[in-house]
Structure 1
Amino acid sequence: MPPLDLHVAVFGASGAGKTVLLAAFYRAQTQPSFQQEYAYKIQAVNKAQGNRLLGRFYRLEEGKFPDGSTRFDEIEFDFFPRDLPDPAVRIHWYDYPGRWWEEEPVDADEREAMREGLLRLGMSQVGILLADGAKYRSEGTAYIRWLFEHFADECDRLRRTSAAAGEEVSFPREWILALSKADLFPAEYSARDFEREVCRDADDQLAKLCAVLRAEHAFGHRFMLLSSVAAPPDAQVDPRTSLGVRTLAPAVLVSTVEGAVREAQASRKEKSAKETFFQGLRDLMQFVDSVDDFLPKRYQIVSKILRFVSIKDFASTRVDRLKRAREDAIRKGDTFKAVLTGMVAALRDDEGLRAYHQNQ
């Protein structure tokens, strides 16, 4: 069976830390210690891309931060369970350069690259908007308000210009708001704290952004802290200081399932207004064999996910139970259950609880 495909679109202004994040994301999850703890590892599908990411990270260890990306990149990562030969999940990472949201294309080639890159939005189950932690720390909520206003205006502009050219842009309906450079904040600061501040002080801007994206629950629901590396002055980067990097892929997985549940609930006119996510998931499980008939194409992989991960796995808060299920799957050679259950468990460990928060 081929791997399950998850598509994630990553956005952030120039300097927000997307390039460093990608290098840290890859390096952290290729290490034997990660595979031992989380029971899976990743490989870049394209070896040359993997080598470039490792090269960036090793230069980071020398204190040499890479220049930000100026072009659209698509990078694919395969997730392998420990001791099993076949990948279970393939994540397609679409990296949109910050300058696309700040400047006009410099020539016809970049305009065409932008057009082709933005068409990938329609394939993405989840979008990640990366807020610059350094700017947020120095400028406060005014920076977050600006970020939401700016991103909403550019998305609106993109939708209008694309429609005029006969190419309607489709944005992801599920989003994660991630705060980069989280090592600049106190050790006790969590994604829940970030959520409280944003929802309290930028609610109008959140509402505007959701309206532009035509997705009522797009923002204000999922929050992350991400620190690719800690970089104190005149000190080498320590790869053990990252935060949230290991939680990122699991958050994308769970967000994809939640998106499918919302689509399924919306399609049922008899749905109760008080129906919870897990009630919706339970209903979705009952129709798992025919779920592809009414879910948009980008969510059709959920029918496969729910064949390997039970509702109890998604609902459980017990890491030990999830880890036992993961190890049992590895012993049985169940590639998909091993990786998917391991990802859900990663959201429930100490790092996951600090780095990821959803308020619904």
Structure 2
Amino acid sequence: MPPLDLHVAVFGASGAGKTVLLAAFYRAQTQPAFQQEYAYKIQAVNKAQGNRLLGRFYRLEEGTFPEGSTRFDEIEFDFFPRDLPEPAVRIHWYDYPGRWWEEEPVDADERDAMREGLLRLGMSQVGILLADGAKYRSEGTAYIRWLFEHFADECDRLRRASAAAGDEVSFPREWILALSKADLFPPDYSARDFEREVCRDADEQLAKLCAVLRAERAFGHRFMLLSSVAAPPDAQVDPGTSLGVRTLAPAILVSTVEGAVREAQAARKEKSAKETFFEGLRDLVQFVDSVDDFLPKRYQIVSKILRFVSLKDLATARVDRLRKAREDALRKGDTFKAVLTGMVAALRNDEGLRAYHQNQ
């Protein structure tokens, strides 16, 4: 059976840390210790891209931060269960350079590359907007408000320009707001703290951004802390220490399922106005065999996910129960269930609980 395809679009201004994050994301999850603890590992589909990411990480170990990306990249990662030969999940990572949101294309070639890259947005189930933790720490509320206003204005400009050129740009409906460089914050600072600050201080800007993206509540209920390396004051950078990097793929997976539930709820005329997310998920499971008929194409993989991960596991299962289910799946050679339950478990361990918060 071919792997499940998840598509994620990653955005951030120049200097926000996208390039370092990608290198740390890849390096951390290729290590034997990670595979032993989480029961899966990742591998770049393109060997040259994988080697390039490792090269960036090793330069980090020498104290050299890589230059930010200046072009659109699509990188594919396969997720392999421990000791099983076939991949279960493939993540397509679309990396949009920060300068696209800050400057005009330098020539016709870049304009064409931008057009092709932005058309991939319609394939993405989840978008990630990366806020620069260093700027947020120094500038506070003003920076977050600027980020939302700027991103909303640029998305609106892009939509209008694309429509004039005959293209239809479709943005992801599900989003994660992630704070990079989280090592600059106190050790007890969590994604829940970040959520409280943003929703308190930038609610108007959040509403504007949701309206521009034409996705009700797209922002404001999924928050992450990400630290690719530890860089304490007056100390050497430690690329071996990170926060949230292992939680990122599980957050993408769960966000995809949640997006499908909302699409399914919207399509059902008899839906109660008070229906909760998990009531919607229960109904979705009941119709899992026909769910592909009414879900948009980018969400049709959810019917496969729900055949391998139970409703209880997605909603409320404790981390020990999930780990047991994962190990049972490995013994049976059940590729999909092993990886998917391993990902859900990663959201409920100590790092996941600090690095990821969902308020709805």
Give the TM-score of the pair, scaled to structure 2: 0.99
Distance 2:62 2:282 in 1: 50
Q: Is the Cα–Cα contact under 8 Å of residues 184 and 231 in structure 2 kept in the other structure? A: no
1:198-253 per-position Cα deviation (integer Å, ceiling 9, x unaligned): 00000000000000000002000100000000123664433332000000000000
The sequence identity of aligned pairs, in percent, is 93
Distance 1:235 1:82 in 2: 36
Distance 1:247 1:239 in 2: 17
Distance 1:248 1:297 in 2: 23
Stretch moving more, 280-289 or 267-276:
267-276
Distance 2:55 2:151 in 1: 31
Distance 1:222 1:317 in 2: 20
Pick closer, same or farther for the CA change 1:190–1:234 going to 2, 3 Å.
closer
Residue 317 of structure 1 deviates from its aligned partner by 4.2
Task: Tell me the SS of whatever aligns to 2:206.
Answer: helix
Distance 1:239 1:35 in 2: 18
Stretch moving more, 238-247 or 151-160:
238-247
Distance 1:329 1:195 in 2: 35
Map 1:217-296; keep pairs closer than 5 Å. 217-232=217-232, 235-296=235-296
Residue 270 of structure 1 deviates from its aligned partner by 1.2
Task: Tell me the SS of whatever aligns to 1:241.
Answer: coil
Residue 274 of structure 1 deviates from its aligned partner by 1.3
Distance 1:252 1:292 in 2: 20
Give the TM-score of the pair, scaled to structure 1: 0.99
Q: Is the Cα–Cα contact under 8 Å of residues 12 and 131 in structure 1 kept in the other structure? A: yes
Residue 97 of structure 1 deviates from its aligned partner by 0.1
Q: CA RMSD in A?
A: 0.8
Distance 2:87 2:228 in 1: 25
Q: Which residue matches 1:326?
A: 326
Task: Tell me the SS of whatever aligns to 2:151.
Answer: helix
Q: Which residue matches 1:13?
A: 13
Distance 1:280 1:129 in 2: 27
Residue 157 of structure 1 deviates from its aligned partner by 0.2
Residue 175 of structure 1 deviates from its aligned partner by 0.1
Task: Tell me the SS of whatever aligns to 2:178.
Answer: strand
Distance 2:208 2:232 in 1: 37
Q: Is the Cα–Cα contact under 8 Å of residues 222 and 359 in structure 2 kept in the other structure? A: yes
1:23-66 per-position Cα deviation (integer Å, ceiling 9, x unaligned): 00000000000000000000000000000000000000111000
Task: Tell me the SS of whatever aligns to 2:270.
Answer: coil
Distance 2:303 2:25 in 1: 27
Map 1:133-282; keep pairs closer than 5 Å. 133-232=133-232, 235-282=235-282
Task: Tell me the SS of whatever aligns to 2:289.
Answer: helix
Q: Is the Cα–Cα contact under 8 Å of residues 184 and 232 in structure 2 kept in the other structure? A: no
Q: Is the Cα–Cα contact under 8 Å of residues 78 and 88 in structure 2 kept in the other structure? A: yes
Task: Tell me the SS of whatever aligns to 2:149.
Answer: helix
1:99-130 per-position Cα deviation (integer Å, ceiling 9, x unaligned): 00000000000000000000000000000000
Task: Tell me the SS of whatever aligns to 1:42.
Answer: strand
Distance 1:83 1:218 in 2: 38
Q: Which residue matches 2:78?
A: 78
Task: Tell me the SS of whatever aligns to 1:109.
Answer: helix
Distance 2:108 2:5 in 1: 31
Q: Is the Cα–Cα contact under 8 Å of residues 72 and 95 in structure 1 kept in the other structure? A: yes
Distance 2:6 2:210 in 1: 22
| Structure 2: segments with no counterpart, 5+ residues | none
Q: Is the Cα–Cα contact under 8 Å of residues 175 and 219 in structure 2 kept in the other structure? A: yes
1:296-315 per-position Cα deviation (integer Å, ceiling 9, x unaligned): 00000000000100001101
Residue 273 of structure 1 deviates from its aligned partner by 1.3
Aligned pair count reads: 360
Pick closer, same or farther for the CA change 1:329–1:175 going to 2, 3 Å.
same
Q: Is the Cα–Cα contact under 8 Å of residues 278 and 315 in structure 1 kept in the other structure? A: yes
Residue 316 of structure 1 deviates from its aligned partner by 2.0
Distance 2:90 2:39 in 1: 16
Distance 1:41 1:344 in 2: 15
Task: Tell me the SS of whatever aligns to 2:240.
Answer: helix
Task: Tell me the SS of whatever aligns to 1:151.
Answer: helix
Distance 2:234 2:9 in 1: 34
Distance 2:329 2:353 in 1: 24
Distance 1:63 1:233 in 2: 14
Residue 93 of structure 1 deviates from its aligned partner by 0.1
Distance 2:240 2:359 in 1: 28
Q: Is the Cα–Cα contact under 8 Å of residues 183 and 232 in structure 2 kept in the other structure? A: no
Residue 356 of structure 1 deviates from its aligned partner by 0.2
Distance 2:232 2:336 in 1: 40
Q: Is the Cα–Cα contact under 8 Å of residues 62 and 236 in structure 1 kept in the other structure? A: no
1:149-185 per-position Cα deviation (integer Å, ceiling 9, x unaligned): 0000000000000001110100000000000000000
Q: Which residue matches 2:307?
A: 307
Distance 1:247 1:258 in 2: 17
Q: Is the Cα–Cα contact under 8 Å of residues 39 and 342 in structure 1 kept in the other structure? A: yes
